[in-house]
Structure 1
Amino acid sequence: MDKSIKGKRTMITLEVKKKIISKHESGVRVSDLATQFAMPRTTISTIFKNKDAIKGASVAKGVKTLTRKRTQMIEEMEKLLLIWITEKQLSGDSISPSIICEKALSLHADLIKNTPGGSAEGEIFKASRGWFEKFKTRSSIHSAVRHCEAASANKLDADRFVLKFKDYVESQGFVPQQVFSCDETGLFWKRMPKRTYITKEEKALPGHKPMKDRI
C-alpha cells in the first residue's frame, strides 16, 4: 500500500462506515475496500469488528460521526431533568446553564444511589459544558429573556407625572442643568436572572413581577 495512504489519518463518517460494511457483505474483499476508500486494512478490519454497533447506530440529521452512546442511566436522568425544567418554567423560576448542570448531577447521583445492586456505581457523568450543549440540542430547550410584567407599571400615571413635573420645572425657573435623575444603589438579593431556559413548545415567556427585596 502507498505510504501516503498508510500514514494519512482522517475522520471516517458513520455514513462511510456503513457503506464499507454494506460492500463487504455483498462480497467485496478487504484489500479492494482498502484501495477504494484509501484506508489501511487494519482500519477496515476494525470497522467490521464494530459492525453491529455501527449498523444499529442512528444519529441526528446533519451529524455524521458516531459518538459514545449515552447510557440508559443518563437517558433516564435527562427525561427527569426535562420534567424539572418544565416545572420550573410553569412556576416562573429562572434557570441558568450552571443550575441545569447542577440539577443533572443531582438527578444522576440519585439514580445511581437507587439502582439495585449498584450496577451503575462506576458510571462517570460530569455534566460538562459539552454535555449541556448536546442536551440542549436533543431536548430543544432554548434560552429566552424574561421581561418584567407590563401591568406592574401604570403608564397613564407616568405620563401625567411627566406633564406635572414639566409644569413644576417651568414655574420654578429651573434650568436643564439642574434637572437630573438620581437613584440609590442596592443589592436585590432575591432577584432572579432575566434569561432562562424553556421547552421547545414555548416560544416566549409571560411577564412576571420581579421580587424587589434589597439591601
Structure 2
Amino acid sequence: MDKRKITSDGNTANTKKKRLVITLEQKFDVIERHERGHSNSKIGRDIGMPESTVRNIIKHAGEIKKKGKVASTFCGLQTTTRNRSITMIEMERLLAVWIEDCNKKCIPLTRAAIQTKASSLFKAVKENGNEMESEETFAASVGWFNRFKNRLQLHNAKITREAASADKDTTVWKHILPHSANSNFESFPPQKQTVIEEITNIGRKLGFDELENGDAQELLISHSEELTDNDLHLEQQVFEEANNDLKESDNMQMKEFTLKEFEDLFRAAEVMKQKIMNADPNVSRSIQIRQNVDRALCIYQHMYEDLKKKTVQPTLLKYIKQE
C-alpha cells in the first residue's frame, strides 16, 4: 500500500515521520522528576513527551548520568541532540583539549588532521574504557566533523584548508617553520638560539644555577609539539581525579553557594561582557571573549539551576502540608 499523502493539487508527498530530538538537559529533567516521585504518565504530560520515551530514559538513567559527567566541562557536549555513547563524548572532549592546545602553540590544523586524531582517540578511549566489548565504530566523516565543529563552536579555531598538493604543503611549511619541514633538524635558528640563551640567563638569576642551554631548548621543543594520545590519556586521568577531589571537598565543605551569590555573579559577568563590547573596537574578538566567559560560567549555571530546583521543592511541599 502506498503511504504517500495526496496533496490538494493531486500530487503525492512523502509523509516521513519527524524524528524526536531529545537533549541531555531534557533527559536529566525527566530523571530528576522521576527521582522526586512523579509517575511516568505525569512526567510525559507535563513536558509533552510520550510515556514510552519517558520509560526508556528512566531505564537508562545510569548511563545518561555518566554521559552528563563526561560532558560537564564542555557546554557544546551538554546539549547534544544525538544519543551518542560515552566513548564518543569522551573522545570529543579530549579532541577539543588537543585542538585548544595546538592553537595555543600556533600549530596549524587541517580538517584531515582533526579527523585522523579523532579516529586515534576513539580507538584509545574505547580500549581504555568500559565499552571495550562494544561493536561501535567511528568513521570520522566530514558530516561528523561539521557537527562537532558546530557543537563546540569551533568557528573561530585556527583550522586551515588542506593544501592542493603535497609539494605545496612542503613549500608552505618551509616558509612558516623551516625546522619543522626538515626531518634532520639539529638546532634552532640563530634568533631562537638567542632566546634560549636569554631564558638560561634569567633562570640562573632566579637561582637555577645548574640550568643549561639544553634544558631551555628541550622546554621550547616540548611546547611546540602537539599532545599525543598518551598525553591526552593522562589528562583524562587527571580530570577524573580532579572530579573525585572536587566531590570530596564539596562534601566536606560547610559553606555553599547561595542563589543570591550565583545571581550576583551572573550580573557581574553581564556587566563585564557589556564593558568588553563597548571598549573593544574589534567586534569579532569581543564576541569570542564573551563566548569564552559564557563557557567558563556554564558549570555555575547548571549548579544554579539545580539549587533553584532543590530550593523550590521543599517550599512547595511545606505549602501543600499547610493547606
TM-score (norm 1): 0.44
Bigger Rg, which one: 1
Bigger relative CO (Cα 8 Å, ≥ 6 apart): 1
TM-score (norm 2): 0.32
